[in-house]
Amino acid sequence: MSSPLTTEQVLALAPDAASAKAGRGLATPRSWVSVGRDAQAVWGECQGSGKTPYQTQIDLRGPAFRCSCPSRKFPCKHGLGLLLLLAAQPDVVAPATPPAWVAEWLASRIQREEQQQRRQAAADDPATAEQRAAKAAKSAAARDAKVQAGIAEVSRWLRDQVREGLAGIPARSPAVFDRMAARMVDAQAPGVARRLREMAAIPASGDGWQGRLLERMARLHLLVEGYTRLDTLSPNEQAEVRQAVGFNQKQEEVLAGAGQRDRWLVLGQVVEDEEPLQVQRTWLWAEAAARPALVLDFAAPGKPFDHSLVPGMQLDAELVFYPGALPLRALVKQADARMPASFFPSSDIHTALGTYAAALARCPWLERYPLTLGPVQLALTHAGWLVCDQAGHSLPLRPQFGRSWELLARSAGQPFSLSGEWDGDWFTPLSAWVGGFVDLVGGVL
Amino acid sequence: MPATALDLTHAPDWADLVAAALLGTERRPPGLPAATGALAQRLERLDPTADAEAALLSASALVSLYRRAGWVPAATSPTPFALAPADDRPACTPQAAWHLAQMLAGKHTVALPEWLAALATRQQTPPPELLPALLGYGHTRAGMREAIIPVLGARGRWLASLNPEWDYALLGDQALNDAEITALWETGSQAVRLALLAQVRSRNPAQARDLLLTTWASERADERLALLKTLAEGLSMADEPFLEQVLDDRSERVRKAAAALLTELPASRLVQRMVDRLTPLLHWTPGVGPRLPGVGQIKKPSLEVRLPEECDAAMQRDGIVLKPVSKKLGERAWWLNQMLEVVPPAVWAAAWGATPQEILTAKITKEWRGLLVGSWAEAARRHHDLTWLEVLVDLAQNGEKALSLEELLPALPPARREALVLALLKGGETLHGESPVMAVLRMLPAPWSHELSRALLKVLGQRLRQIDAHLRTDWHLRAALEIFAQRIPADLASEATAQITNEMRELPYWGAAIHEFEELLAFRDEMLRALN
């Protein structure tokens, strides 16, 4: 049977803070007319403001949610509330035989899965595969041509900026970047467009903007140069460049590659806006191979993300890395046992920065890299919070990180382990091990 | 922008590249930075004369990456925090912690004081991760600090010592020795000193006064005012000489506060001066004949009142305010009213050899009767004179217009208060927002007894079952539901719910308030159970 999620893990599934709060409010027996569970699912009827209670059901294998309420949030507060109730008071949710409305849904889910497998089998048929391949090759060639033209344009643009001098940029910002970013969207090079959009905020970001902007522009120049000379690069380097420009490799192709089987710990999950989509970054860590992996998921605003990876959970799983000079982005090919985390990686700051430098050497466009530090302690200086190791090295915590006091309170000043994203300037905590796994993304309340 | 780990702007070779990029290659062709080793080999392949822009961008990419990859933090870190002392009491259960988190996040926050008090009784603490939020709550809401401090435990006090915003919690609830007291008194922040003085005062009133005297002359006016007010607890005649001196303080607000404290002391010189001022203004004539119940005397006792002619400097020094606060009273009546409120009413009973009943029912110049009865009520409250209060309550219940029951009630002992409210509830009147009992209920602090609460639930249920036009617009009663839900004992939650029908829950305008009433009661019930 699937292991029930902890309160923190359930809250990590919430689409926003309001849903998490509403879900907590419903995680009490008196909100539910009936509740029940079996090995696969948990269900309940929740008394809302209307006459008939809402029917809420969750397939624990996913977890996959379904609720009869009209909410457009996903998962809705009822689904979250039910899982929170299960996490906090498992005795209240007694094993039972699923009622008809649950059994039917579960049956339809299994049917759908089978259909999908049949469709997959049909797609693997050689005749249809050949047809599709020919069509795909044609559209790929058309896109390549578009991207090449776009790359040539951004190359000229970069040279123009440097020829005329960056001093004139603030007067023309952010339009100068936004216009070029829009051109790159049209040229089907979304990776380049995103880098240009991110530059737009720099001229107004205060002291030292000139250096920060030049660094970004130089990094983009490097990408442009790489793409222009793609033929001279190794296949892995080619993949890295194409990925940075914004070519997305098909998931099926990636999954066909060899996987890495290990015990993977979900270190943390961050959701960020990446116009016009939202991106969910899930960082994992392989226990035996001692390496990180990044699983990305994209969704339109308000639409659900994949919820199968929950921070603080570990899974015996096979992950396949996207090809590239720095294998980091990955897909879960197959996952077996899931359970609460029983280990947490850690190294001193010097060693961790060594892995960052090595990663940067393989992929100069790396924007952030996970570091797993420990044993570390926190310190507070006039400039802000620091994480310090036993050797006396320290990294600055991102000022927007709002849970330093909480982390200090949990640790009582004792050394602990801390994972986070390092972008070369700031360390943004993802999770910690302080007597147990602590998810540090989002708020404590 | 705070300093970051990697400050590229101060590296000379990088700064040269930035300067070149800022200026633009069309103004000055860029040079390449000096370098050694692998970096130098890469830089040598660039040719600024052939393609100045590409060379500058490529060199920038190489140098910035080289520096970013090679950066190591300086090994001179600041010292991490000292370790917390061992925990001195257990943390509450996760479920109880969850209730706290909900209240701190703004849901049912009105129940927080009750939760904190229950936690303190059980000698438990919140879990460490919620301590910062709780300490922060106390930082912005000074009124909550007294409830927060006892639950903090060793971990919470340790945290408080690390953040200046939380220093109000530093004292904890343990007694300090004399040296610690002196040190904190001389160096602590204003919040700490105030809390320290209150703590010392509650244990040893004389020591607190002596502590205050050591620095009194050098305190700022607002500090003097705040510190002086802590003397209200444990006030005695031992404080009188000091307070008498403060009547000559430089700050008017401090003088007024000292006068207010002295009026609480019946034996103070200030109260005696008031008696001396009032005695010539009040002329008592005893009644004639025996006092027989139901018959009355041949001639009732009477009281003649003269108004004071002036409010001189000495009166103002004793806290009498010159200008009336309301237009209902003339200046001279206003002075009389203020003086009467200060004098214990028993003084008059003794001076005239009369009982409170006789005085309060005496023949008094009609114009001034209301003024006198009202002033005596305030004086009886101020000096906790239960004999007088009982007579006043009796008068109020019999329709004395100058008195209101809800104003007298808070001065009565809890049991007496309850009995009065219970009698009103059982009086059979329909409950509505303007009922006399509603005003009284609002003034009645928690905890309410089960008997009282059940009686209230009964009349409330009766009222809500009669859905009529008046109920729909009775917003006083609707607003009072939140007060009821805060004060009815939580273990009556299910009994309260039993009074509510689905029809009531769906009433327009009332539905939401009834829902919140049930929710809050159920939440309090659940939160207290989770602590057991």
For A310-343, the DSSP string reads -TTEEEEEEEEEPSSSS--BEEEEEEEEEEE---
Structure tokens at B215: 């620095």
**Beta carbons of B23 and A165 less than 8 Å apart:** yes
Report the gap between the CA of A394 and the closest CA in chain B (Å). Answer: 6
Is the per-residue pLDDT at B10 higher than 60? Answer: no
Q: Are residues A155 and A239 both part of a single domain?
A: yes
Q: Which of A318, A340, A362 is the last residue of a domain?
A: A340
B14 interfaces chain A, CB cutoff of 8 Å: yes
Structure tokens at B469: 């036009």
Q: What count of Cα atoms within 13 Å lies in the side-chain half-sphere of residue B529?
A: 11
| Residue B147: band (very low, low, confident or very high) from pLDDT cuts 50, 70, 90 | very high
Report the gap between the CA of B358 and the closest CA in chain A (Å). Answer: 59
Domain boundaries, chain B: 8-70, 94-169, 178-263, 288-409, 413-529
Q: Which of A301, A321, A340 is the last residue of a domain?
A: A340
Please check whether residue A252 lies inside any domain of the structure.
no
Counting residues of chain A whose pLDDT is more than 90, the rounded percentage is 62
Q: Are residues A413 and A368 both part of a single domain?
A: yes
Please check whether residue A1 lies inside any domain of the structure.
no
Please check whether residue A253 lies inside any domain of the structure.
no
Is the per-residue pLDDT at B174 higher than 80? Answer: no
Task: Give tens-digit pLDDT for A246-298.
Answer: 998 889 999 999 999 999 999 999 999 887 789 999 999 999 999 999 999 99
Q: Are residues A155 and A191 both part of a single domain?
A: yes
Task: Give tens-digit pLDDT for B36-79.
Answer: 888 888 888 998 888 999 999 999 999 999 988 888 887 766 78
Contact B117, B83 (CB under 8 A): no
How far apart (Å, rounded) are the C-alpha atoms in residues B478 and B510?
7
Q: Which helix (H) or strand (E) holds A119?
A: helix A100-123
Region A73-100: what's the mean pLDDT? 88
Angstrom CA distances, B414 to B233, B410, B447, stand at 20, 8, 10
Length of chain B: 532
Region B341-359: what's the mean pLDDT? 94
Please check whether residue A445 lies inside any domain of the structure.
no
Closest residue of A to B77, CA-based? A392
Q: Are residues A298 and A214 both part of a single domain?
A: no
Please check whether residue A319 lies inside any domain of the structure.
yes
Q: Which helix (H) or strand (E) holds B283?
A: strand B282-285
A 211-250 near B (Cβ less than 8 A): 211, 214-215, 217-219, 221-222, 225
Considering only CB atoms, which chain B residues are within 8 Å of A438? Answer: 129
ipTM: 0.79
Please check whether residue A385 lies inside any domain of the structure.
yes
pLDDT for residue B5: 47
pLDDT for residue B172: 63
**Beta carbons of A211 and B130 less than 8 Å apart:** no
Q: Can you state the angle between helices B269-278 and B252-263, rounded to 10 degrees? A: 80
**Beta carbons of B81 and A380 less than 8 Å apart:** yes
**Beta carbons of A394 and B95 less than 8 Å apart:** no
- CA torsion sign, A261 to A267 to A268 to A274? negative
B500 interfaces chain A, CB cutoff of 8 Å: no
- Is residue A302 left, alpha or beta, with left meaning phi > 0 and alpha meaning psi from -120 to 50? left
Q: Are residues A105 and A170 both part of a single domain?
A: no
- Residue B175 CA, chain-centre distance (Å), reads 23
Task: Give tens-digit pLDDT for A223-232.
Answer: 999 999 999 9
Q: Are residues A77 and A142 both part of a single domain?
A: no
Please check whether residue A250 lies inside any domain of the structure.
no
Q: Are residues A265 and A224 both part of a single domain?
A: no
Q: Which helix (H) or strand (E) holds A374?
A: strand A369-381
Task: Find which of B8, B66, B77 to mutate to test the A interface (most A CBs within 10 Å of its CB).
Answer: B77
pLDDT for residue B1: 34
Domain assignment of residue A419, given as a range: 349-439
Q: Are residues A132 and A233 both part of a single domain?
A: yes
| Residue B98: band (very low, low, confident or very high) from pLDDT cuts 50, 70, 90 | very high
DSSP H helical segments within B188-251, as ranges?
Answer: 190-203, 205-215, 221-229, 240-246
Task: Give tens-digit pLDDT for A132-146.
Answer: 888 888 888 899 999
When mean pLDDT is compared across A358-367, B383-392, B440-449, the lowest value belongs to: B440-449
Task: Give tens-digit pLDDT for B487-526.
Answer: 999 999 999 998 888 888 888 788 889 999 999 999 999 9
Is the per-residue pLDDT at A385 higher than 50? Answer: yes
Q: Are residues A108 and A31 both part of a single domain?
A: yes
Nearest by CB to A214, from B18, B53, B101: name it: B18
How far apart (Å, rounded) are the C-alpha atoms in residues A257 and A243?
17
Nearest by CB to B76, from A356, A357, A392: name it: A392
A435 interfaces chain B, CB cutoff of 8 Å: no
Q: In chain A, how many domains are there?
A: 4
Q: Are residues A237 and A145 both part of a single domain?
A: yes
Q: Are residues A114 and A135 both part of a single domain?
A: no
**Beta carbons of A388 and B80 less than 8 Å apart:** yes
Q: Which of A322, A340, A358 is the last residue of a domain?
A: A340
Region A352-371: what's the mean pLDDT? 95
**Beta carbons of A379 and B105 less than 8 Å apart:** no
From the CB of residue A30, how many other CB atoms can be counted at a distance below 10 Å?
16
B38 interfaces chain A, CB cutoff of 8 Å: no
- Number of helical H runs and strand E runs in chain B: 30, 3
Report the gap between the CA of A139 and the closest CA in chain B (Å). Answer: 32
A353 interfaces chain B, CB cutoff of 8 Å: yes
Q: Are residues A98 and A152 both part of a single domain?
A: no
Please check whether residue A2 lies inside any domain of the structure.
no
Is the per-residue pLDDT at B3 higher than 50? Answer: no
Rounded to whole angstroms, the maximal C-alpha distance in chain A is 74
Region B84-103: what's the mean pLDDT? 93
